Structure 1
């Protein structure tokens, strides 16, 4: 990984997720002992990872992109994967309701989903830059952390709420315990939600930069982002599904509060950074 700040933020992200999993393990330990805690946590992490990929494939009605009909795209994907020193990800058509793309998985077993609309909007070089952007997420190992973090906030906050409600059954003041539990659950959920979105916004800048570096086509990258910005700014345009927005190449929101909750930075800022690389 060639980006010091990304490394630092990924370490912080890993630490937060580790603490969250530790809380889950504590609940399991109290319920059934150390082996239940260890086994339960391992199973949860594995299922969380697999479910994210399966959910993406199901929700986008994913189908492999046939090499015989898209030989140029596959050739460029092969070259990018070799240059980035990752295993060639499997390419899928994915219906995201908007022109978009996203990456899931690991360096050695990645999955990249491309909406069919992009093939009508983008030139071959622009599609290559979008591939480079998604491959960069796999290369930098950040998509795994984001994938797990997206649904962890809901899982953990729900677990805390249930734990407080169970504890209130033996309390002399159950209403107070439930009130505290609801507040703690809401705060934890909000903190993890904002944290995942902060990491997600930063990783988009890094992936843009890597796409330019490995394709050596900053103009095509800027054009691709400009086309996506024009599409998302169009009146009546559909927005990205909330459950998948953090994983897609585009999906930023407007407005101060909306930007705080957004999974993507302003597209104008992304385009400006790419233009500065020319």
Structure 2
């Protein structure tokens, strides 16, 4: 499916993120000279690669994800093979975890993707509902959403670190300058993340639409989201931390600040679009 809206938003956000990165590189060049450029370029690649590798490892470890045995879950493996072939991607690694809540998430990239499904999710969903959830996660892998988010988060982090040290070095290097620099760095990072999270929310709509296209209807995924929301509200505890929740199909956190900095659109709006 060609998402014109996504492409336009990606172009807009990408331009803004590139402007932030260009400003960051410009500051480095102004402070250290043109000889620093190779270090800036290589450092950026290493930083993004480190964020990607560590983020993937931490997400899987945080929920205790284990390989999903094909002999115990043959139907799910066949389902993923069929959907992956339909989407034109390699079959990702399948893992299962006890998350404390019904949920699922994807991490990695094309050719090295991983889909994690909670045991709680498999207990409450019917076959077609689970197919809708898995199709949603495969769409994230096909659309390179995880890589895009890591790149955006890395730029935000680098901008925050740069602003922090610019403020510190511009002062007298006393304790007050360190505090001011720390605050300025956080504000700068949050400013960049506003743009990154805006595209993240739209990508959830796109993954929903892709899932609806590949399973033939939006109703199974809509029902799945209703069950996931209900199951999460009644769960006593969860093993999903904030960083992993950003990858999940459903994020139950609420509040004014979380609404502004949300990685997911309201589930009610997603269900409404799926059933439209």
TM-score by length of 1: 0.86
Question: Measured at CA, do residues 179 and 158 of structure 1 come closer, stay the same or move farther in structure 2, by a change above 3 Å?
Answer: same
Q: Which residue of 2 aligns with 1:209?
A: 209
Tell me the CA shift for residue 69 of structure 1: 0.9
Q: CA deviation at 1:176?
A: 8.5
Specify the alignment match of 1:166 in structure 2. 169
Select which of 119, 132, 136 maps to 2:135.
132
Separation (CA, whole Å) in 2 of partners of 1:62 and 1:235 = 19
Residue 73 (structure 1) shift: 0.3
CA RMSD of aligned residues (A): 2.7
Distance of 1:193 and 1:96 partners within structure 2: 27
Residue 18 of structure 1, CA deviation: 3.3
Alignment length (residue pairs): 273
Q: Residue by residue, what CA displacement relative to the aligned partner does 1:64-118 show, whole Å, maximum 9, x if unpaired? A: 1111111100101011011111111111124444321111122232111112211
Runs of 5+ consecutive residues of structure 2 not aligned to the other structure: none
Given the alignment of the two structures, is residue 241 of structure 1 paired with residue 244 of structure 2, yes or no?
Answer: no
SS in 1 for 2:105: strand
For 1:218, the equivalent position in structure 2 comes to 218
Report if the CA contact (8 A) 1:61-1:94 is conserved.
yes
Residue of structure 2 in register with 1:266 after alignment: 266
Task: Report deviation, 1:218.
Answer: 2.5
In 1: Cα distance, 2:69 partner to 2:234 partner:
31
Secondary structure in structure 1 of the residue aligned to 2:94: strand
Given the alignment of the two structures, is residue 107 of structure 1 paired with residue 117 of structure 2, yes or no? Answer: no
* Structure 2 SS opposite 1:112: strand
Alignment gaps of 5+ in structure 1 = none
Q: 1:154 to 1:239 in 2, by over 3 A?
A: farther
Q: Which moved more, 1:158-167 or 1:12-21?
A: 12-21
Matches of residues 69-84 of structure 1 in structure 2 within 5 Å? 69-84=72-87
* Maintained 8 Å contact 2:99/2:238: no
Q: Do the aligned partners of residues 145 and 54 (structure 1) sit closer, same or farther apart at CA in structure 2, a change above 3 Å counting?
A: same
2:30 corresponds to 1:55? no
- Closer, same or farther in 2 for the Cα pair 1:235/1:68, shift >3 Å? closer
Q: Distance in 2 between matches of 1:94 and 1:106?
A: 20
Identify if the C-alpha distance between structure 1 residues 145 and 95 changes in structure 2 by more than 3 Å, giving closer, same or farther. farther
Retained in 2: the 8 A contact 1:126–1:220? Answer: yes
2:44 matches 1:41:
yes
Task: State the TM-score, normalized to the length of structure 2.
Answer: 0.86
Q: Judging changes above 3 Å, is the alpha-carbon distance between structure 1 residues 184 and 162 closer, same or farther for their aligned structure 2 residues?
A: same
Q: Which residue of 2 aligns with 1:121?
A: 124
Equivalent residues of 1:253, 1:264 under 8 A apart: no
C-alpha distance 59-156 of structure 1, shift in aligned 2 (>3 A): farther
Equivalent residue for 2:160? 157
Aligned-pair CA distance for 1:20: 4.2
The correspondence of residues 87-106 of structure 1 with structure 2, limited to 5 A, is: 87-106=90-109
